[in-house]
Each structure stands twice: as C-alpha cells, then as structure tokens.
Amino acid sequence: MKYIIMCGGQYEKWETPRQLTPYEGEPIVQRTIRLLRENGVSDIAISSHNPVFEQFGVPVLKHDNSFVAYKNNSTTGSWCDAFYPTDEPVCYLFGDVVFSPKAIRTIVSTETDDIAFFASAPPFAPDYPKRWAEPFALKVNDTDHLKEAIRKTKEYDEQQKFRRKPLAWELWQVITGCKLNRIDYNSYTAINDYTCDIDDPEDADI
C-alpha cells in the first residue's frame, strides 16, 4: 500500500506551506515520513504542486489542487480534489497533522477491505489541544468507493446540502451513508492522544 502525505492547496494566512511548520525542531511532514519508516513503510510519497517538498527524499506527486482557504474562512476550489487519484490501495495522511508514534502505528496496522477513517473523538485525551474532533487520515482499499463518494460529495455541495464547504467530515458522512452534517464518533477509528492538526501559525509553538 502506498502512503501519500497530502500537502496541496493554499492557505492565505501562511507565508510558507503549513506542513513545513516545525514541531520539536522537525518539519511536520518530515516527522510523518520518519514515523512511517519506523513502522516499516517504504512506499511513501507527497502529493503537492509545490517543489519545496522535494527536499524530503520521497517522490512528490505533482498534483494541482486548486483549494484555497482565505483568512476570512471563505474558500475556493473543492477540498475533495486534494486526493491524488489512484486505482491502487492507498493511505492518505493529512500533511498538517502532528502524529504521535502511537497514531502512526494504529494507522499502519489497521486493515480494511473498504475505507477506514482516523480522527480524534470525545472524550479527548488530556494532552489533546482542541475542544473538537479533527480528522487525520483515510486508508482506502476500495478506490472506486472513494471516487464515487467524492463525486457525490461534490454533487451534494452543489445542491447546498451541507452547512459549509465539504471537508473531511462531510466526505466521511457520504462514504458511510450516515446523516449529513452530523459526526458519528463511533463510525471510525478514534485516535485519542496529542495527535492533531495545526490551524494557525502560532500553533508552531505546540
């Protein structure tokens, strides 16, 4: 299985890609690569249109994701286009997440015939930095299911069935067929430790 670290899109309030934010002196994306290798994963790539990611010693899959998040929380482009298209089994890891070693072990060791989703869930661990759940990764064996879910998510978005522009939670709701705009915390693999994404430049101090 290929492990793709998603580092595309643009975020207006960041001067450099937020996946390069250092955590304990190491860029987040480099930390994810290291943890994957420590768990026996060798087929690792980064998906991005930005050549800055070529410094990390893994293939950079040139993927022009047009998603842009602006400072006022408005967006353009479809976040669903962040998934580098492939017909092979793949694990997509969100590039702005600080993964714990335990989180990476959980993702690597989890098996699925369909699609597995990994995120935090309440009750949160004491060292978790937020008051709400965040998504971390999708492990995909049935790539046709993912492609159809992406298509349907975009269709629902055009029909204004979501309360916001669809992101990971909305895609997961479509994948599972559960009620839209509501998180089912029991439908995925919960990772409850300090693993979390970063939202603002000052989060570099975590």
- pLDDT level of residue 68 (50, 70, 90 thresholds): low
Three-state DSSP class for 159?
A: coil
DSSP string, 23-49: ETTEEHHHHHHHHHHHTT---EEEEES
pTM, two decimal places? 0.93
CATH of the domain at 160: 3.90.550
Which range marks the domain in which residue 118 is found? 2-205
Alpha-carbon gap, residue 23 to 101, rounded angstroms:
14
Span 32-46, pLDDT tens digits:
999 999 999 999 999
When divided into structural domains, the chain yields a total of 1
25: left (phi over 0), alpha (psi -120 to 50) or beta: left
- pLDDT level of residue 203 (50, 70, 90 thresholds): low
Question: Nearest CA to 167 among 6, 32, 18?
Answer: 6
Span 122-165, pLDDT tens digits:
999 999 999 999 999 999 999 999 999 999 999 999 999 999 99
| pLDDT greater at residue 100 or residue 203 | 100
pLDDT for residue 170: 97
